[in-house]
Amino acid sequence: MQISNKLALLKEMLDSAESNLRSARQIIGELTGVEDPKGQYVKKASTMKSGTEAGQIIEGVFDGQNMIGPDGKSYPVPANYASKSKLIPGDILKLTIGEDGTFIYKQIGPVERKRVVGPLVYENGQYRVLANGKSYKVLLASVTYYRAEVGDNVTLIVPALEESEWGSIDNVLPRFES
């Protein structure tokens, strides 16, 4: 079998496996009543459009780290862009894939936001902010961009109308010595 045929077969197998995983997660959610957080983004993204103009344009939903396209595939969002743009889960993005393979993201539909305040912690290899009795994941790029340190109080932006595992650092609050 030629390499190109093997690659095409592998791609089909991966697409099938991704589809099976989505279906399995959906069934688990139906049986337990607990929806997979990614499932809600895949469902929302499935209504988005994709097409071609000068390159390929795909609309999708940000899940905290990646953009989920209408096909259910994840597209990597640069952490620096997500941090500086203060993207939060549920935000609608447009990805333009240039003819030279470049990815250009643009936020086209921000979700309603709210701000919470809490301390920055580091647990299990992940930075988090503890606020309102929840533990929100934050991107390492946000922590380094704001020069935040464990123990700092930070203002975090989170979705106002839906539950989320992720938030975006808005500000690091100054420490006052007494």
Q: Which residue has the tokens 């994840």?
A: 74
Mean pLDDT taken over the chain: 85
pLDDT tens digits for range 131-160? 999 999 999 999 999 999 999 999 999 999
Decide if 18 contacts 57 (C-beta within 8 A): no
pLDDT tens digits for range 85-118? 999 999 999 999 888 888 999 999 999 999 999 9
Residue 72 has pLDDT above 60, yes or no: yes
Residue 18 has pLDDT above 90, yes or no: no
**CB-based burial, 67-89: b 16+ in 10 Å, e otherwise:** bbbbbbbbbebebebbbebbbbb
- Hey, what are 24's tokens? 């399995």
Residue 163 has pLDDT above 70, yes or no: yes
Global confidence as pTM: 0.70
Helices (H), 33-65: 37-45
Indicate the range of 4-8, 46-50, 130-134 predicted with least confidence.
Answer: 46-50
Q: Residue 52 has what pLDDT?
A: 47
